[in-house]
Amino acid sequence: MPSAHEVRAMRRAIAISAQGLGSTSPNPPVGCVVLDVRGRTVGEGYHLRKGEPHAEVNALAAAGRSAEGGTAVVTLEPCNHYGRTPPCREALLAARVARVLIAVMDPTSRGAGGAAVLRQAGVEVEQDVLADEALVVLGPWLSATKTGRPHVTWVYQAALDGSPVGEGEAVRNEVAALRGAYDLVVTAGGAFDEGRPGSHGRDVFAVLRGDAVPGSPEALFAAGARSVLVAGHSPGAAALLAACLPDEVIVHVPGTAESWAPSPEAGPVGVLPDGYRVTSVAPAGNGVRVTGTRG
Ligand SMILES: [Zn+2]
pLDDT digit string, tens, across residues 117-149: 999 999 999 999 999 999 999 999 999 999 999
Which H, E and C letters describe the chain, residue by residue? CCCHHHHHHHHHHHHHHHHHCCCCCCCCCCEEEEECCCCCEEEEEECCCCCCCCHHHHHHHHHHHHHCCCEEEEEECCCCCCCCCCCHHHHHHHCCCCEEEEEECCCCCCCCCHHHHHHHCCCEEECCCCHHHHHHHHHHHHHHHHHCCCEEEEEEEECCCCCEECCCHHHHHHHHHHHHHCCEEECCCCCEEECCCCCCCCCCCHHHHCCCCCCCHHHHHHCCCCEEEEECCCHHHHHHHHHCCCCEEEEEECCCCCCCCCCHHHCCCCCCCCCEEEEEEEEECCEEEEEEEEC
Domain(s) labelled CATH 3.40.140.10 in the chain stretch across 4-145
Catalytic residues: 56
- In this model, does residue 209 exceed pLDDT 70? no
- Tell which wins on pLDDT, 74 or 211: 74
What topology is assigned to 148-294 in CATH? Answer: Dihydrofolate Reductase, subunit A (3.40.430)
Give the up-direction half-sphere exposure of residue 42: CA atoms within 13 A in the CB hemisphere.
Answer: 21
Whether the predicted pLDDT of 273 surpasses 70: yes
Ligand 1 center to residue 31 CA distance, Å? Answer: 11
Contacts 24+ apart (CB under 8 A), 272-279: 272/162, 273/162, 273/249, 275/245, 276/249
CA of 86 to the centre of ligand 1 (A): 8
To the nearest whole percent, how much of the chain has pLDDT over 70? 96
> Kind of pairing, strands 71-76 and 99-104?
parallel
Q: Per-residue pLDDT for 6 more than 60?
A: yes
Read off the pLDDT band of 211 (50, 70, 90): very low
For CATH 3.40.430, list the domain ranges present in the chain: 148-294
Instruction: Give residue 236's pLDDT.
Output: 72
pLDDT grade for 72, boundaries at 50, 70 and 90:
very high
Instruction: Give the distance (Å) from ligand 1 centre to CA of residue 4.
Output: 26
pLDDT at 210 over 60: no
Q: Compute the average pLDDT of residues 85-100.
A: 93
Tell me the whole-structure pTM to 2 decimals. Answer: 0.92
Report the pLDDT value the prediction gives residue 201, as an integer from 0 to 100.
82
Contact between 96 and 106 under an 8 Å Cβ cutoff? The reply is no
Å from CA of 39 to ligand 1 middle = 23
Distance 19 CA to ligand 1 centre (A): 17
Mean pLDDT over each residue of the chain, to the nearest integer: 91
Q: How far is CA 29 from CA 14, 102, 108, in A?
A: 9, 14, 14
- Residue 209: burial class (beta carbons within 10 Å; 0-12, 13-18, 19+): exposed
Query: What's the CATH number for 4-145?
Result: 3.40.140.10
Mean pLDDT score, 218-224: 89
Confidence of residue 238 (pLDDT cuts 50, 70, 90): confident
